[in-house]
Chains A and B, each alone.
Chain A
């Protein structure tokens, strides 16, 4: 227990000593990095010892806040969320040493590190909290620290705007959570988390809906994702990695924990989450395809992956409702493993994208090009992350999606019923996979391959070792889960048992047995690739490499003639235009000898820009209109209001 508390305190306060260091010196950042590393290592010891011993650890202390005790609890479900957290926090803090050095950012470096530590500590706290109040303290600290991370560069207008949208969204969610915990406390009689599967189903509808709003807002499920793209694009890359890789998962954690309390799960809970997941997945990736800002694009992919995670959770909930243990274990294992995996590869992608942005000084994909020659290692890291996020073997994304696919195929074994509709999750997942592949071919191809499209890209430099080592660590973790998935299964089995309440005996050991085959196929693929690759390399190393690309007869191709990110995605964006509604400006050619023309396209967010802003503008207009009617500056009217109010009050009293 001491390790866990030590971990929370060390990470949370890691940025504090830096406040007392010199403004332009690098002492503060080194101390912060060391403290973060020590904190995550200490937390990791706590988690690993829990997993190895098989006993959950508890801490119960009396505190002065009424209603409950200060209770921390570490079980396999929390461990599944904590493991990627420790890795992402640690790698991000090392990466930050070179990405956001204090010397180059004297104005906001200390602020960034203070809140980076605080958000990490708060997340560890909320993932282990066993008490509603403690959970909300962690939640709110995390939300506020997140605001300051997003607005690190608060002198920029669009950063401030993204920060405000974030804080409005997150507080709407927190409001729902306050109500939810109050209701939960009312039902269970205490602010402590109830034991699993103890709460009655009566009165649970409102709790679930409030939880779905609060946690779904944080997770970024589709209609509630409004804050996510702007916020993740605005934060510094290692902070984006933390927000996207770990913070949004706390919403999933909340849903997983909340649904474990109830003895019975109504059927519509599973359907709702499954449907929201499918919508988030498909629309998230379609919106990602239409983006040309690399960090916005990655942020939309977080929406997509949260969708996949939610589909796993939805299937597991359906399994609980229909009492199918196999569906529960496959769905929840897929959900939790995808939480881990997305944490790893999304952070890897954000860090490598950050290294590109650091070198080129732009976030526009169409400004990059040919970077694999200038940044060979960053390119390899990004490629690894891209292959993993597209769920391609032999990386980790495939393992978790494989589990969710298997879960989606389980209803076929039952007699025909409404549950049969759940199999549609499989083709939805396939569509998401195909679109994600298109998107990452686009990002990797346009960013790293071809010829540089601008001068800065042509003179880009490779990232320093302190930025590359964190990325390599994350890539190694991705490959490890992909090639040796059986090593992570005990953790998932424990988490499934802890969630579904069934003892480990009902979970047949062979549920996950085919993973041994998957792992073998992965190794086989890897060795085949190495053998063929080495043969081709040996056969071709003397070949001439000094001629131009075949331009179909044209002799003077220029970098600007290359395919761009927008043109690559255009076909698919047109197909999804019913939901995306891209705006296209210019590009019309007229006359026999047309002069120069400009073309630009832009895809605004489907919910925020298309629905919420017009709605809010409309209500603001209504309020202004009413005010101009009521408060019209004529004294006579104001006297009339006074008289009317008095009459109204009098009638009220006499009644």
Chain B
């Protein structure tokens, strides 16, 4: 019991900690290839993190300890949340009835502290970013709950391990497949919003006024900024794990092949995000809430289909 728990914890954390930054690299590479450039090496995010960890800090005189709490919570939350979510066929090490609510609220905690850390600088740009972040997230949150309701209805259980259990494969083939398709789209949109990707936010834009997430972390520097970047890639992998599990519900039962399938799925997802970022422009700001409400409607529709 203890031995298998330790093993699953080790595999989970090793996968998460080592693999997560690669996704950012894959996205950047895809975008570069689309634009006809060679692009940065795939491992560039790792080099960036290593460089940031060696650097010193610069703090604004306006800031307080809350400014440092932002990166700390932003890194701790995905770490803890990853223990609740199954990585493909690998079951989550910690699992109990209702753990998905803890999962959702952990990310809310990280949002709270990222946004307050942004307000701590007293810059109106960062205030703007914080306001946008909390606005869009509270529109994305009901969608997340609707999709969880659909999954709970299909699985009959209330823990993330049963929600994303073996029944998914059969469910895809049954008449619930339509619902699963709809919530896959919804979850992918939530993933894009939460990780501030195009079309909701452009991580590479050059103008502070148009940023959302990037502008909130403008004043962070050195290892604290490194923690933010690392936390962001962990978050992408943890939320991506949901999408990948839903899209690729196969599992072999042997941990190595399951892990390989999962990683392949994540890389495919990163390539897909890269393609979207290459062919789409960022939405105008007033369009974002409309898009999110539209997604909520899709998820309501999916729920109606399984509840009838």
Report whether chain A binds chain B: yes
Segment among B10-18, B140-148, B192-200, B263-271 that sits at the interface with chain A: B140-148
> What are 22 of the A-B contact pairs (CB < 8 Å)?
A373-B64, A387-B109, A390-B112, A433-B141, A437-B112, A442-B131, A448-B66, A450-B119, A517-B94, A524-B80, A529-B76, A536-B223, A543-B57, A543-B222, A549-B62, A550-B218, A551-B125, A562-B127, A563-B126, A567-B124, A567-B131, A572-B135
Residues on the B chain within 8 Å of A563, using CB: 119, 124, 126-128, 130-131
Q: Which of B46-65 contact A (CB under 8 A)?
A: 56-64
A156 in contact (CB, < 8 A): no
Q: Is B153 an interface residue (CB 8 A)?
A: yes
Residue B149 interfacial (CB < 8 Å): yes
The residue that B146 contacts in the complex, of A427, A517, A547, with Cβ under 8 A, is A427
A420 sits at the interface (CB 8 A)? yes
- A449 engages B66 (CB within 8 Å): yes
Chain B interface residue count: which class? 35 or more
Contact A406 B62 (CB under 8 A): no
The secondary-structure label for the interface of chain A is helix
- Assembly CA distance A81 to B105 (angstroms): 27
A514: Cβ under 8 A from any B Cβ: yes
Decide: B138 and A438 in contact? CB cutoff 8 A: yes
Residue-by-residue, is B81-101 near A (CB-CB < 8 Å gives 1, otherwise 0)? Answer: 000100000000010111101
Pair B123/A557 contact, Cβ less than 8 Å: yes
Residue from A413, A416, A427, A449 within 8 A of B142 (CB atoms):
A427
Residues 405-434 (chain A) with a chain B CB within 8 angstroms:
405-406, 409, 412-413, 416, 420, 423, 426-431, 433-434
Determine whether A518 belongs to the interface, using a CB cutoff of 8 Å to chain B: yes
Kindly list chain A residues whose C-beta atoms are within 8 Å of the C-beta of B289.
575
> Which candidate, A213-221, A231-239, A391-399, is the interface stretch facing chain B?
A391-399
Contacts of B227 in A (CB 8 A): 532, 536
Give Cα A430–Cα B108 distance, bound, in whole angstroms.
10
Question: Distance in Å from the Cβ of B130 to the closest Cβ of chain A?
Answer: 6
The answer to the question of B156 belonging to the interface, with a C-beta cut-off of 8 Å to chain A, is yes
Contact B135 A372 (CB under 8 A): no
Does chain B have a CB within 8 A of A370?
yes
Known: A514-B97, A532-B76. A392 touches B109 (CB 8 A): yes
The interface of chain B, by Cβ under 8 A from chain A, is 56-64, 66, 68-69, 71-73, 75-77, 79-80, 84, 94, 96-99, 101-102, 104-106, 108-109, 111-112, 115-116, 118-128, 130-132, 134-135, 137-139, 141-142, 144-146, 148-149, 152-153, 156, 158, 208, 218-219, 222-224, 227, 289, 296, 303, 307-308
In angstroms, how far is the closest chain A Cβ from the Cβ of B48? 18
Name the A residues within 8 Å of B145 (CB-CB).
426-427, 429-430
In the docked arrangement, what's the CA distance between A440 and B111, Å?
12
Contact call B69/A392, Cβ cutoff below 8 A? no
- A545 interfacial by beta-carbon distance below 8 Å: yes
Is the CB–CB distance between B116 and A445 below 8 Å?
A: yes
CA distance A545 to B84 in the complex (A): 38
Pick from B97, B101, B127: contact of A568, CB under 8 Å: B127
**Chain A residues with a Cβ under 8 A of chain B:** 369-370, 372-373, 383, 387, 390-393, 398, 401-402, 405-406, 409, 412-413, 416, 420, 423, 426-431, 433-435, 437-438, 440-442, 444-446, 448-451, 513-514, 517-518, 521, 524-525, 528-529, 532-533, 536-537, 539-540, 543-552, 557, 559, 561-563, 567-572, 575
Contact of B73 among A370, A529, A567 (CB under 8 A): A529
Bound state CA distance, A652 and B272, in angstroms? 87
Point out the residues of chain B lying under 8 angstroms from A413, CB to CB. Answer: 156
Given contacts A423-B149, A517-B96, 5 further A-B contacts (CB under 8 A): A372-B66, A390-B108, A450-B121, A528-B80, A532-B72
What separation, in Å, do the CA atoms of A513 and B64 have in the docked complex?
39
Please indicate the chain B residues that have their CB under 8 angstroms from the CB of A442 in the complex: 131
Asked if B132 and A571 make an inter-chain contact with CB atoms under 8 angstroms apart, the answer reads yes
- Contact yes or no, A544 B96, CB < 8 A: no
B71 touches A536 (CB 8 A): yes
How far is the CB of A411 from the nearest CB of chain B, in Å?
Answer: 9
Using Cβ atoms and an 8 Å threshold, which residues of chain B touch A529?
72-73, 76
CB pair A545 B122 closer than 8 Å = no
Is A449's CB under 8 angstroms from B152's CB? Answer: no
* B123 proximity list for chain A (CB < 8 A): 549-552, 557, 562
A441, A514, A533, A540: the one within 8 Å of B115 (CB)? A441
Distance to closest chain B CB from A355 (angstroms)? 17
A550→B211 CA distance, assembly (Å)? 15
Chain A min CB distance to B214 (Å): 12
Q: Which residues of the other chain, A, contact B128 by a CB distance below 8 angstroms?
A: 563, 567
- Do A536 and B68 contact each other (CB < 8 Å), given the known contacts A434-B137, A525-B76? yes
Given the interface contacts A409-B149, A431-B141, A563-B119, does A514 sit within 8 Å of B112 by beta carbon?
A: no
**Distance in Å: Cβ of B292 to nearest Cβ of chain A:** 10
- CA–CA, A528 and B98, complex, Å: 22
Q: Which of B68, B77, B145, B227 has the most CB of A within 10 A?
A: B145
Cross-chain contact A437 with B134 (CB below 8 angstroms): yes
Docked CA distance A521–B93 (Å): 12
